[in-house]
Amino acid sequence: MFTRCRAALPLAIALLLVSLNGLFAAGLETKIIKDIPFATFGERTLMIDLHLPVGVERPPLVMFIHGGGWQAGNRKGVKTPWVVGEGYALASVEYRYSQQAVFPAQIHDCKGALRWLRAHQEKYGYDASKVVVIGTSAGGHLTALMGTSGGVVNLEGETAGHLDQSSTVQGAIPYYGASDFILRSRFQSNKTDKPNGSAYRLFGGPVQKNLEVANAASPVTYIDKKDPPMLILHGEKDKTVYPRQSRHFHALYEQAGLSSELLVDPDAGHGWKGSIPGEREKVLAFLKRILRDDR
């Protein structure tokens, strides 16, 4: 009995290590190429920071969109840098602030960034044939909008050119973002209809007097059968963007027969620090399913 246990132990440890290596990629080293310009508007140059896993040939691409109420933040505020250690390339992109240009400039810039990234995939060595976009807060809104508005001409824009490239994503992971501005104006008018509100500034006026543009900016507007899978994350204690926005989005997505998973943490607020239980596992499983399972 003792001899059999001694022989089995190294094998069990070896199998465990193989399993862990497959799940977590052993924390690959990251190479960061900073300050890559992709578009210029007057004095504002929009840039990309590209995070590449060392030693991985043509890693699948994840695009990250930062938060900041559409009026602050930058490409350095990456919430999910750990995906690079799992073998994914991560491109953190910028967009014009609402004080520089009102909507739809922001979604034009995000779609332009993706077209640019696809046009330059051979130069930098990642695989952008399929892309998952991740974003937080204002970036979560833009992430969801990129997911549902593939092929919507009015939201395409010409930022960065490369109009021969697709701006359609194959999966989206919005963190605590707005999905329906008209619904939001019923519950958070301080954000949507007051001059200091972030959505008011995004639209250059109150939602209730700009219903057409608010509708055009809402990811729920464009939900159809062609939309990609979604993984939606939110905190139950979020007072900046109420979790009802993500629940509403998730429900409409499921009603349309689309793939959507919603993770609401009971203890998290807006822009939580670190990770919530189950977050990394679900994100990595989603990325694997969309970007790797069919490779």
What CATH number does the domain containing 141 carry? 3.40.50.1820
Q: Rounded to 5 degrees, what angle do the CA atoms 60, 61, 63 make?
A: 160
How far is Cα 160 from Cα 158, in angstroms, rounded to an integer? Answer: 6
Helices (H), ranges, 30-128: 105-119, 121-124
Based on the structure, what is the number of domains in the chain?
1
Task: For residue 54, tell me if it sits in a domain.
Answer: yes
Flag whether pLDDT at 198 surpasses 70.
yes
Domain span including residue 264? 27-180+218-292
In 157-278, beta strands by DSSP E: 171-175, 230-235, 260-265
Task: For residue 48, tell me if it sits in a domain.
Answer: yes
Q: How confident is the model at residue 219 (pLDDT cuts 50, 70, 90)?
A: very high
211 burial type by CB count under 10 A (0-12 exposed, 13-18 middle, 19+ buried): middle
Q: How confident is the model at residue 27 (pLDDT cuts 50, 70, 90)?
A: confident
Task: For residue 2, tell me if it sits in a domain.
Answer: no
pTM: 0.90
Look at residue 294 in the predicted model and tell me its pLDDT: 72
Per DSSP, 288 falls in state: I
User: Is the backbone peptide bond immediately before 243 cis, with ω within 30 degrees of 0?
Assistant: no
Look at residue 22 in the predicted model and tell me its pLDDT: 37
Task: For residue 11, tell me if it sits in a domain.
Answer: no
- pLDDT of 37-58, one tens digit each? 999 999 999 999 999 999 999 9
- pLDDT of 86-136, one tens digit each? 999 999 999 999 999 999 999 999 999 999 999 999 999 999 999 999 999
In the chain, beta strands by DSSP E: 30-41, 44-53, 60-65, 89-93, 127-136, 171-175, 230-235, 260-265
- pLDDT of 132-175, one tens digit each? 999 999 999 999 999 999 999 999 999 999 999 999 999 999 99
